[in-house]
């Protein structure tokens, strides 16, 4: 597949790394020559310096025979014009644009992106993706990471294990015997800064950060087995009234949930804007780092604090201060991956990485067709891929034990007619089943071969 990625920032570079590593023909376009040089020097991609929306630049990038254009520059308008030029001049079949301004995303204007108007096939909103990630964290506060699969029938849970976990030093094979009715599989383990797919004889240790794929109905029991206490999030303080904070508060109001939210926003104009658009949410104008404003918000009595300003350091320090005041759960928005290792020592319970959520969303649409979902783990060290089995796939009709999966791939669950099934060696994968696979980055090309992505999708 030939892909042109416009924008070599964090998101564009990550997508380029992912797709070039899977033997796609990737060209990166950016106005900044340093970013272009960084991409072409460190990745197996071609680099073009110039305005992504200019026809001559897209022509030099190979738009005449490109299969896809991904417009992820920092300018919404450049991304939109890039897609228009790619369609009108070069007839590129598939166009994806990242748009941040909420005015472009209102449902009332959805006709704007029709092929005879502004031809964008997929619109990605980082703020909405981050807001949805925040809502998932709040719904499963005992997990540091969570996302749904099989139309909500399965959940990927990231769990940090401590000394209170009752199943430490127990081989996973034995856990399967002890909890034979539990529909959950440990698919990945972070240990000593290394992510690996466990073998049946591997044990769990305090300090491990594990990924589990569980049936949604078994999530509470899964938490209990791994020593996690689940409590309702009835009171929430959101630090930051920007697009993310406002979207989270508005969604909570629309869901008619019992959660009572308060927003702390430093900018008085933005605070007034948020207050005008919310009905039951209290908006306080003040600094989220101020002990006085946190006390006014009642942070010591709240169930969770969500720090989502546009400054990583403010989010981290606000979360630390909230925990020090007695808040049991703190979630911080962190853009800089180099800050993530500090969070555990600062007692921050979970973080949201906007780049990770945006990359996952784009990959979900890049791997279109039978691939129904993609979620990126960490700094793209692994992916969870949800795909429907094709009749011609090497998987169809095979028992799991007979499939030559790479060492870095594990089947997390199988959906048969929409019903969650825990995978066993004797489980037969049938045509039309939906499989959810955990795959380390180096083994993703082999997963796509097993799913016959190259032949049947593109």
427-448 residue pLDDT tens: 999 989 999 999 998 888 888 7
227: phi > 0 → left, psi -120 to 50 → alpha, else beta; which?
Answer: left
Domain boundaries, the chain: 2-124, 130-225, 235-352, 357-456
- Give 130-225's CATH code, choosing from 3.40.50.1240, 2.60.40.10, 3.30.70.100, 3.30.70.1450: 3.30.70.1450
Of 29, 35, 36, 90, nearest in space to 61 by CA:
29
Into which CATH architecture does domain 357-456 fall?
A: 2-Layer Sandwich (3.30)
Task: Report d(CA 299, CA 293) in Å as an integer.
Answer: 9
pTM exceeding the 0.85 threshold for the entire prediction:
no
The answer to whether residue 453 scores a pLDDT higher than 50 is: no
The answer to whether residue 457 scores a pLDDT higher than 70 is: no
The answer to whether residue 55 scores a pLDDT higher than 80 is: yes
* H-helix or E-strand spanning residue 251: helix 243-254
Q: In the predicted model, what is the mean pLDDT of residues 247-274?
A: 90
Residue 6: beta bridge partners? 29, 71
CATH T-level topology, domain 235-352: Rossmann fold (3.40.50)
223: phi > 0 → left, psi -120 to 50 → alpha, else beta; which?
Answer: alpha
Residues in the chain: 458
Q: In the predicted model, what is the mean pLDDT of residues 9-28?
A: 87
Cα–Cα distances in angstroms (integers) from residue 189 to residues 122, 149, 202, in the given order? 33, 20, 10
What confidence score (pLDDT) does residue 230 get? 75
* H-helix or E-strand spanning residue 133: helix 126-139
If you write DSSP's letter for every residue of 30-47 in order, what string do you get? Answer: ES-HHHHHHHHHHSS-EE
Laid out side by side, the sheet with 25-30 consists of 46-49, 25-30, 2-6, 68-71, 94-98, 122-124
Task: Report d(CA 138, CA 232) in Å as an integer.
Answer: 9
What confidence score (pLDDT) does residue 345 get? 85
pLDDT over 70 percentage in the chain: 97
Under the banding of pLDDT at 50, 70 and 90, the label for residue 367 is low
What confidence score (pLDDT) does residue 450 get? 84
> Is residue 202 within 8 Å of 209, Cβ to Cβ?
no
The answer to whether residue 283 scores a pLDDT higher than 90 is: yes
Same fold, 130-225 and 357-456: yes
Q: Which CATH class is domain 2-124?
A: alpha beta
What confidence score (pLDDT) does residue 324 get? 93
13-22, 326-335, 364-373: which is most confident = 326-335
What is the DSSP secondary structure assignment for residue 58, as one 8-state letter? Answer: H
What confidence score (pLDDT) does residue 455 get? 37
What confidence score (pLDDT) does residue 165 get? 93
Parallel, antiparallel or unpaired: strands 282-285 and 260-265: parallel
The answer to whether residue 409 scores a pLDDT higher than 60 is: yes
The answer to whether residue 452 scores a pLDDT higher than 70 is: no
Q: In the predicted model, what is the mean pLDDT of residues 282-290?
A: 94
Cα–Cα distances in angstroms (integers) from residue 137 to residues 82, 183, 223, 306, in the given order? 34, 21, 14, 10
Q: In the predicted model, what is the mean pLDDT of residues 199-220?
A: 94
**50 in helix, strand or coil?**
coil
Mean pLDDT of the chain: 89
111-115, 175-179, 269-273, 368-372: which is most confident = 269-273
The answer to whether residue 206 scores a pLDDT higher than 80 is: yes
pLDDT over 90 percentage in the chain: 62
Parallel, antiparallel or unpaired: strands 260-265 and 235-239: parallel
Residue 48: beta bridge partners? 29
Under the banding of pLDDT at 50, 70 and 90, the label for residue 380 is confident
Burial of 187 (0-12, 13-18, 19+ CB in 10 A): buried
> What phi, psi does 72 have (nearest 5°)?
-130, 40
What confidence score (pLDDT) does residue 258 get? 77
What confidence score (pLDDT) does residue 195 get? 94
What confidence score (pLDDT) does residue 120 get? 92
């Amino acid at each position: 597949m030939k892909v042109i990625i416009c924008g070599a920032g964090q998101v564009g570079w990550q997508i380029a790394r992912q797709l070039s590593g899977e033997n796609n023909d990737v060209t990166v376009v950016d106005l900044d020559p340093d970013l272009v040089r960084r991409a072409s020097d460190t990745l197996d991609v071609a680099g073009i310096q110039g305005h992504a929306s200019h026809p001559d630049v897209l022509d030099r990038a190979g738009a005449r025979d490109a299969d896809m254009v991904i417009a992820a520059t920092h300018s919404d308008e450049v991304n939109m014009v890039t897609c228009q030029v790619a369609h009108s001049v070069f007839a590129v079949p598939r166009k994806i644009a990242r748009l941040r301004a909420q005015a472009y995303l209102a449902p009332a204007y959805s006709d704007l992106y029709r092929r005879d108007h502004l031809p964008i096939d997929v619109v990605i909103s980082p703020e909405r993706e981050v807001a949805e990630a925040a809502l998932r964290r709040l719904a499963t506060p005992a997990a540091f990471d969570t996302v749904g699969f099989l139309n909500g029938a399965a959940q990927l849970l990231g769990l940090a294990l401590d000394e209170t976990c009752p199943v430490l030093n127990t081989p996973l094979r034995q856990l399967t015997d002890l909890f034979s009715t539990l529909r959950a599989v440990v698919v990945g383990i972070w240990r000593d800064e290394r992510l690996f797919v466990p073998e049946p004889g591997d044990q769990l240790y305090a300090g491990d950060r594990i990924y589990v794929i569980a049936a949604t109905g078994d999530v509470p029991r899964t938490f209990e087995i791994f020593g996690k206490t689940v409590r309702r999030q009835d009171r929430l303080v959101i630090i930051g009234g920007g697009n993310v904070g406002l979207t989270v508060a508005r969604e909570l109001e629309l869901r008619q949930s019992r959660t009572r939210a308060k927003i702390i926003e430093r900018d008085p104009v933005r605070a007034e804007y948020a207050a005008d658009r919310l009905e039951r949410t209290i908006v306080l104008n003040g600094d989220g780092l101020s002990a006085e404003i946190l006390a006014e918000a009642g942070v010591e009595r709240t169930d969770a604090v969500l720090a989502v300003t546009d400054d990583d350091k403010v989010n981290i320090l606000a979360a630390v201060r909230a925990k020090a005041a007695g808040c049991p759960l703190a979630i911080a928005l962190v853009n800089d991956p180099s800050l993530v290792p500090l969070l555990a020592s600062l007692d921050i319970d979970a973080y949201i990485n906007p780049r990770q959520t945006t990359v996952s969303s784009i990959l979900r649409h890049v791997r279109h067709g039978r691939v129904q979902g993609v979620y990126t783990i960490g700094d793209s060290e692994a992916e969870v891929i949800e795909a429907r089995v094709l009749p011609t796939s090497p998987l169809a009709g095979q028992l799991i034990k007979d499939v030559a999966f790479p060492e870095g791939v594990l089947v997390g669950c199988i959906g048969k007619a929409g019903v969650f099934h825990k995978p066993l060696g004797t489980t037969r994968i049938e045509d039309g089943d939906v499989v959810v696979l955990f795959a380390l980055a180096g083994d993703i090309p082999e997963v796509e071969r097993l799913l016959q992505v190259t032949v049947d999708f593109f």
